[in-house]
Every structure is written in structure tokens, then in C-alpha cells.
Structure 1
């Protein structure tokens, strides 16, 4: 049952059984692929995107809040009564609340300083209304105490007051909590912490490089990225998610290796060479909430070599159609020219014919598409088959 030639790129969600810790995931996926191949839907150069969540679950890649406390204590040389600075964490119960609990366990007789950005965190979760933020900036406020903002800090989507939530998480572990809002990363040094965790995602290295000469500093990626440990990831705590009351699931480890092994098993079983992606959050911004969905460090945690660092470019169809139509060319002539331009532009320099299609990493595009089909639709389809890539 091959798709008709007039069908362009498309994605199909593949339903699977429940993936449990320790499941033989490659065998489970291969079983579904055999059905797809039997139905004539699998072709060379298709792409298969597997959500990072089921890969990490099958790997049993979990840690506890107690282990987070031990890890950050070791990395930052903390004592139970020290002050720990936490710079620019995102506002998320799923992504950060358990990490914060673990950090507070590291200094149960000390203090946690949390510096938040405004009006939003780095992925677009609103902390305070933009007009309130601008008014404070106009008045010359560089630092805003949490106590001054309590009534303004209800998240417009989740209705959670993250200042209160984060303070309560810290104090429940016995530590003192001090939260404030400032977009100037240097302010955290005014509180004289013994160590600073750069808890931001996409700007973590920039802030680490500016702080590490003044205080012991690490990023979320530096915690649990040791391959000698039972649970670890190249991304450390980046990309981790809440699993249970005190347990966090890390991003998968060796995701490239998993993708390549799965590709080989599918090739051996079906004779079809397809590309494989281990996908996380898609790289897109929700137009209604303004939230930038990429809370993972990147859209694709792992890929097969055929996708790695390749750029997706196309021709600027609207420009070419209008230009050649104005030159008096027929519909058939325009179609033939566009087909030739599409082939000619592969791998070439960016020119006017392609400027309508900004070059992007193919792995980012495909992982984002898969996330929209699977994760954002919550469709129970952790594997996505993408055709005509």
C-alpha cells in the first residue's frame, strides 16, 4: 500500500504497547516496523522518530532527590550550612521542582538563593505581566524582592504561583529560602553564595563563563553526566522530567548509539535503510501562550549519521512562480524550472531562490514535527514514521 506520488512529506503516529523500565525497546519498535513494512508503508530514506522518554525509561535512567543532593554537594563542595545560588531556573513543576528539592536537601541548615528572570523565564513562561515588568524597569529597579510581587506571580496558563511554590519546596527541606527577580546575572554574587548552579538551559555556558572566576559554578549539564554511574546522561539534568514523588527521569544516554543500532536492526529485518531520531521537545513557540516549547537542550538527542548536521533548504516557490509567470511561461514550464531549481540548490549557497526557506537542521525540523504529532497531541504514539523527507 504505497502512498500516491502526489503525497508530499507526511508523518504517522505509531501506536505501541506500554514501555516499562527495562523493556527491550528496540525489539518492540522492530515488531511495529515489521507490520509497517508488510503493509508497504516503509521505504528507503524514511525517518523514524522515537521519543526520548521511552528510550530513557527502557534504560531505567532514574535518579532520586537524595542523589541530586549528593551530586551537587560533590560538584560545588557544599556543606550543610552553606548558601547555594540558583540562577535563572525555568518555571516548571515537571522540569524543575524536584531538582530544586534535591538542591535544598544539599544545604538543609543553609540557604538557597533563587534568581529569576522577568517578565518570563527563558522558555517563555510568564513570571510577572510584561507591563508590570516594564514599569519596574522604568522606575530603575534592578532587583525586585519576591515579597513585592506575590500578587502578580500567578502563571497565566497553569495558575501556579512559582515564587510561593519554589519557596515552599526549599523550606520544606529545612533550608532558608530567598527569592528575587533580576535580569542581571551578576546580582546573585551580592548574596555571597559558596556555589552557584546555572540552572538555565540555552544560555548556561554564557553565564557559567562569566561567573566561574568569582565563585564555584556548575550547570545542570554537569550533574549526572558521568558514564561510570548507573544512571547518567551526556546532558546531565538537562532534559530531565519528574517521574514520581522523589524520582526524576534523565534524558537517555548514548542516544546516537541507540539510533544507529535500531537502524541496523531494521535494515537487517526489512532490507530498508531508514534514518532514526531520538527526539525531545520541538523547537517552536506557541502563538497563544508565547511559551517556547524547547525545555530540552535540543530537539534531537540522537540521530543516525545520515541526518547529523544536514541542512534542509528548498526553493522560494512564491517568488519563482510569480517571476516566471510574469515572464509569460506556462504552468508546465514553471513546474519544470522549479524541479530543476530544487535539485540545483541542494548543498549550494543560500541565494534569492531559497531565501524564503531559511536553512535549518533537518534533525531539528523532523524532531519538531514528531513532537507535534506525538507529544503535543498526547496521542499515545511514541514512535513517528516520517515519509518523503
Structure 2
């Protein structure tokens, strides 16, 4: 019988994961059991994705505020430190800021505006226009910012992040000065010692600071690169990708995940004879059109994946073929012509008109976004996602 369904995505329910659990075994058992209960067959090139959260939980990759403070204190001593370009997030950054402040005596907090790196807005662009302020050139003090814009609460959280972050720093015993600028060099007028907290632009920011006279430059990816007093750590990303666990601890981004995804692939092959693809995923990469927030607060969408997920899609646009190459055909003739075109398409369609409008993103970023939207971040209880037919096309 002809197939009438393409890609199918299933959120899989599994047990609550705790430190020390054998996640490889749990994922394999969950997939095999889901196939049996739901009546689907496991096929070659199916994909199972696992949220980074349960990987880190199984690894026990946690650290306390005191661990963060110890590392920051070791790196900066008693220096005044510029903490620049943090995202505005209670879950992602606020608890890290408490640890950072606990390790310092004075903080100059420099916020980007009108929004942070991932789209959380302090103010709107329209408000900047009304006040005649250029965010690329104008540096504002806290008093100047308040004079122009007053007190603004975040659309979704109801938090005034300027007041909130300043209060967190001062509650840890450090003094705090707040400024607003989008130019990394601005902070060097206040201190030569900087902790840059941006995610995707961090390498550029570090380079600019180093080339313009900064004496000590670290990023969040340099904090907790190694274990502090037995804490968790991430040798590649440090605090990046971490989020709140308890009031006094963070769950770090998982590390050394390649063995896990390869092991799951091998075990499923052993049990079923099928070669599936496996990846660990964090935040997807998509923008909320209302809140203007980009979801991607993790350093990467996927920290580990099996080899079959390398690369980008190599697809043609069906509507382009129907409207152009085969506009003179209808019905079965059109179906046959498009199917033959797909079966004989070039292995690399970059630049070809037939591929115009297809998504030029890495497979792992696309599949990670699909998985993140499927599993959600709340109480769905589906930390694993099973995807079938993703690599199929119109001819299959």
C-alpha cells in the first residue's frame, strides 16, 4: 500500500532520571517498549533524540553557587570586574550571577540594550526612536536609563531585570554599578578585568577586549571548566548552557556525550538489526514573534550526535518544480516527472534554483528544534523524541 504519511514525531515518556542512572539502557528500553506498545516498527535512519537535561542529570553534572564563587575569586581576586552582556533570565543567569557576585567585591554590570543577545527586551526599539537614542553609540548610566525609560517589566516574567540583577549582586555583599552599552570596549573605561557573559558572540567579544587593553578576560565558558571541590564541570562550555536546579545550585550542560549516542545506536542495532541515528539536544533555534525571544540560550543545539546526522539537507522545492520545470504537466505525469527529478537530483544542490527556499541549516539544528518543540520545557514528561521518515522524500 502506498504511504500517505511522511515525517512522524513521537514524544516518548520515560522514568524520572536521577544521578547515576544508566541512561543508555533506559533510552533503549524506552524506544523498544514504545514501538511495541504503540505498534510502530523501528527502521533504518529513524532518529531518537534525548534532551540534554536528563543527560546532565544522569551524569550528576551539578555545581553550587559557592563553587562558582570559588572559581571566580580564583580568577579575579579582589579586582573590580565588569560583568557584561548577560542574558535576562531567572532560570539561566540569575543564579550564576549570585555565584559570580559572591566571589567579587565590586561589579560593573553592563547590559546590552534594547534587548539581550537572545531577544529579551528591556525596552522596545520604538522607545529608542522616540527618545532619539542610538544603541550602537550611546552609553547610558542607570540614572540616565531610568530618566529616559523609567521602570519596565519583562513581557512574560513581570521582572524588572535591572533592579533584579542589581539586588542579587548587592545581596551577595558586592557593590554594583549598572551601565548600558552594546560596545564591549565601553567596559574598559571602568575596569580592565572582564567576565563576558554572551553566548554566541563570546569569541568576538573576548578578542575585542584583549586587543584593546583588557588585562583579565574570561567568559562564562571559562567558569567551571574544571571541577571545583568535586563539583560538576564542562570542559568545553563551562557555565554556558547551565540552568537553575535548586535555590543554591545549577545543572550544567552535559559533557562527554558522544559515548552515549554511539552506545544507544549500537545497542538498538544489536537488538533490532536497524541502524538509527541518535542525538542529544538542548534549545532549538526559533523566534517567538510576540516576545521576540530567540530560544537558543544553549551554546549549541546538539553537543553530540551520531555520524548520520552530520551535514545539511539536500532537498528540492516541490512547488518550484511544479510551477517551473513541469508546469505543463498534470496528474500522474506530473507526479512521475517530479519523482524522477528527485531520484536523479545532484548530490550537492547548493546554488541550484530547484533548491531555492529550502532551509539552509544543519540537520542537527533542524532536528533539535523539532525535538525541543515536541518535548517542551514543562510537564509533558517526554524527554526523548522518536522521529520517523525525516530523511524520506516524495518518492518513498
Deviations 1:209-242 (A, max 9, x none): 1112422101111222238965222221111010
- 1:112 and 1:177 in contact (8 A); partners too: yes
Correspondence for 1:256: 258
Correspondence for 1:382: 383
| TM-score (ref. length: structure 2) | 0.90
CA distance in 1, matches of 2:100, 2:378: 33
User: Please, which of 290, 304, 307 is the counterpart of residue 305 of structure 1?
Assistant: 307
Note the residue ranges of structure 2 that are not aligned, 5 or more in a row. Answer: 391-396
SS, match of residue 381 in structure 2: coil
* Pairs aligned (count): 379
Tell me: CA distance 1:334–1:274, structure 2 relative to 1, closer, same or farther (3 Å). same
SS, match of residue 85 in structure 1: strand
Correspondence for 2:196: 198
Tell me: CA distance 1:295–1:139, structure 2 relative to 1, closer, same or farther (3 Å). closer
- 2:12 and 2:31 in contact (8 A); partners too: no
User: Please, which of 128, 131, 138 is the counterpart of residue 126 of structure 2?
Assistant: 131
Correspondence for 2:110: 115
- 1:128 and 1:152 in contact (8 A); partners too: no
| TM-score (ref. length: structure 1) | 0.92
CA distance in 1, matches of 2:377, 2:339: 34
User: Please, which of 288, 291, 303 is the counterpart of residue 293 of structure 2?
Assistant: 291
CA distance in 2, matches of 1:246, 1:16: 27
Deviations 1:102-150 (A, max 9, x none): 111111xx21111111111010000122222232425997111223334
Tell me: CA distance 1:140–1:388, structure 2 relative to 1, closer, same or farther (3 Å). closer
Compute the RMSD of aligned alpha carbons.
2.1
Tell me: CA distance 1:140–1:209, structure 2 relative to 1, closer, same or farther (3 Å). closer
Tell me: CA distance 1:139–1:249, structure 2 relative to 1, closer, same or farther (3 Å). closer
CA distance in 2, matches of 1:372, 1:342: 29
Per-residue deviation, 1:302: 1.0
Tell me: CA distance 1:165–1:354, structure 2 relative to 1, closer, same or farther (3 Å). same
- 2:136 and 2:182 in contact (8 A); partners too: no
Structure 1 residue 26 corresponds to structure 2 residue 24: yes
Per-residue deviation, 1:20: 1.5
Per-residue deviation, 1:265: 1.7
Tell me: CA distance 1:57–1:138, structure 2 relative to 1, closer, same or farther (3 Å). closer
Tell me: CA distance 1:175–1:15, structure 2 relative to 1, closer, same or farther (3 Å). same
Structure 1 residue 67 corresponds to structure 2 residue 63: no
Correspondence for 1:5: 3
Correspondence for 1:95: 92
Structure 1: 4+ residue segments shifted above 4 A: 138-141, 227-230
Which of 257-266 and 292-301 deviates more?
A: 257-266
Correspondence for 1:217: 217
SS, match of residue 387 in structure 2: strand
CA distance in 1, matches of 2:134, 2:92: 32
